[in-house]
Structure 1
């Protein structure tokens, strides 16, 4: 079987890039694979020209090299328009959309009637549309009226043993900067309890973090996007991950935390309740700084809670978010599934 993976170039930071990397690692040596980039950092005109070259390559590999599946990682706006052009240029029984990005509903709602019908048609003609968790499955079935969805989870390579360091002194948030991510809310929540937790640091890392966050505090560390090696080092020193977003799909940073057995506080949005448990007391309403502050302080000062949450998260990462579990589903039920 020949599989083509289509997405952003490796230097484009974000959860989608991590998923593509893990997907390629899992498929290596098992199937013939090729990755073709359609989104590039830098000047838009250069990116557009590179996209045209990639588009021609995709057409060539599909029609002349007989690739069996074209796995299109997409989100919203330009990402979706690029992938839909590709999807609609090749046989529909080869097209697998993989929907990322919690902003797709607002993108879809902003479209006029004709463009909505185009989106409906493009997604509807695909062999499968991969959606992240039960929340997004319900959305695409009920709002877009799709009958070709297949529910998967994002996935990572999970360590063989739980590496959680319960004595870690860092609270971490890993995300590209955007006002919807809630960075400022987390800073406000941390400042409420920082005087009572002098040895604890708040580490905020992501694309454009240092550009848009301006704070000088001895317990707050800012960094732009960090590479995989640095990320692993930070996670090994982390006692808690917080993600107070206002919109999300299925955040890869939460899966990264679970893989390291790290307790998580996150917003009750998107697929996050499925990830942490619908009735978890560590889910918060977006913008609820007081509740976030209370929960951070509670976890920091109770090792038994940290260890219990660590074990739950690590076990869930193994059973529901590992590359082996999710890629076996995709290979057997999607790539090798009956053609439409």
Structure 2
């Protein structure tokens, strides 16, 4: 069987965040075993504005060369919004010029909001990209609806993020109940609300055996540390910095629950990783979060910014071992039945096959 040649483009693997986690997951898969030849070219690094521009200019040149000489069957483009959109729009047009199908993989949790706030010229470009792409991957049903509202002609494919399911399952810890936050420390992640909730719990005398791990880095890190100091909740919080690989696995194994009080999300890898270890989750009802966090079954969903509700759900999840054990088992069940990576790779592969089929049909 002739192999399908895929060129994937997106963040450099040094970039922190969920998009990079997805790219690493895809690159780690044995595509060769199912007849796919996968190559990857990074288009973005975290650096100064000038260095970002230079890096992308080199990336664009290399992508153009790869399309012209290596002739990939499909270009798989990972895209967010703002600067990411403009970079990927140029690559999309390059694909159109050389008649190479592109599969665009949307990750941006604020894509619809950004579209609504954009000027008419940018909106036209966005709709143009949506309509022209061979396939447009979205992370859940809500994002499918949102993209279709922007451009009904978009060939959307719903492929939820997925994770490898570990053999390990978390346990109730009667000595220290550890609650984990995993993510970039930026305003929309709602970590300031979490610290406020911890302060409320302190006033109520509820922090005797609870420890919070904030595993992440970003622009809000110093202000969050200052907030924790001002509210005098430092003894209950560990700022662990950015964690991945074995360090992230260790925190997931050692923790009893995950908290993610974001203001915008799609369906975060952090939540799927947490439920794969059997962690109950306290999160906000945004994006497609409800696909993985079922209210009262394996966690709780609250409104963004509702600090009192966040504190209350932390109490609920830490006060009853029986309820906790049931929630933990449900998290593992949901991960196994709905978010195992085996079906995920099959869906991605089918996107590639469909894109090449469309190309062949067009050229015949």
Q: TM-score range by the shorter chain?
A: over 0.9
CA deviations on 1:121-147 (whole Å, 9 max, x unpaired) are: 112111000001111001111233233
The CA distance in 1 between the partners of 2:324 and 2:358, in whole Å, is 47
CA deviations on 1:295-338 (whole Å, 9 max, x unpaired) are: 11111111222221112211222222222111101102x10013
The CA distance in 2 between the partners of 1:41 and 1:224, in whole Å, is 16
- Find the structure with the greater CA-based Rg: 2
1:28 Cα deviation (Å)?
A: 4.5
The TM-score with structure 2 as length reference comes to 0.88
Q: 2:172 maps to what in 1?
A: 166
Task: Please say if residues 179 and 213 of structure 2, whose CA atoms lie closer than 8 Å, have aligned partners that are also in contact.
Answer: yes
Which runs of structure 2 are paired with 1:258-277 in the superposition (5 Å)? 258-277=275-294
CA deviations on 1:171-224 (whole Å, 9 max, x unpaired) are: 111121122211111112122224323121111121225322112321111132
* Count of aligned positions: 338
1:279 Cα deviation (Å)?
A: 7.8
Question: Partner of 2:256: helix, strand, or coil?
Answer: strand
| Pair 1:124 & 2:141 matched | no
1:292 Cα deviation (Å)?
A: 1.4
1:271 Cα deviation (Å)?
A: 0.6
Task: Please say if residues 243 and 265 of structure 1, whose CA atoms lie closer than 8 Å, have aligned partners that are also in contact.
Answer: yes
Q: 1:14 maps to what in 2?
A: 17
Q: 1:202 maps to what in 2?
A: 212
The CA distance in 2 between the partners of 1:13 and 1:69, in whole Å, is 26
Greater displacement, 3-12 / 25-34: 25-34
The CA distance in 1 between the partners of 2:295 and 2:326, in whole Å, is 17
Q: 2:358 maps to what in 1?
A: 339
Question: Partner of 1:89: helix, strand, or coil?
Answer: helix
Question: Partner of 1:145: helix, strand, or coil?
Answer: coil
Question: Partner of 1:233: helix, strand, or coil?
Answer: helix
Q: 1:37 maps to what in 2?
A: 42
1:114 Cα deviation (Å)?
A: 1.9
The CA distance in 1 between the partners of 2:221 and 2:138, in whole Å, is 32
Greater displacement, 275-284 / 34-43: 275-284
1:40 Cα deviation (Å)?
A: 0.8
Equivalent residue in structure 1 for 2:307, among 289, 301, 304: 289
Task: Please say if residues 72 and 100 of structure 2, whose CA atoms lie closer than 8 Å, have aligned partners that are also in contact.
Answer: no
**C-alpha RMSD of matched pairs (Å):** 1.8
| Pair 1:241 & 2:232 matched | no
CA deviations on 1:225-267 (whole Å, 9 max, x unpaired) are: 1122111111111111111111111111101101111000110
Greater displacement, 214-223 / 26-35: 26-35
Q: Which runs of 5+ in 1 are unaligned?
A: none
The CA distance in 2 between the partners of 1:98 and 1:255, in whole Å, is 18
Task: Please say if residues 132 and 153 of structure 1, whose CA atoms lie closer than 8 Å, have aligned partners that are also in contact.
Answer: yes
Q: 2:249 maps to what in 1?
A: 232
1:59 Cα deviation (Å)?
A: 1.6
The TM-score with structure 1 as length reference comes to 0.94
The CA distance in 1 between the partners of 2:249 and 2:92, in whole Å, is 36
The CA distance in 2 between the partners of 1:116 and 1:306, in whole Å, is 46
Task: Please say if residues 154 and 326 of structure 1, whose CA atoms lie closer than 8 Å, have aligned partners that are also in contact.
Answer: yes
Q: Which runs of 5+ in 2 are unaligned?
A: 360-364
Task: Please say if residues 171 and 240 of structure 1, whose CA atoms lie closer than 8 Å, have aligned partners that are also in contact.
Answer: yes
Q: 1:180 maps to what in 2?
A: 188
Task: Please say if residues 77 and 88 of structure 2, whose CA atoms lie closer than 8 Å, have aligned partners that are also in contact.
Answer: yes
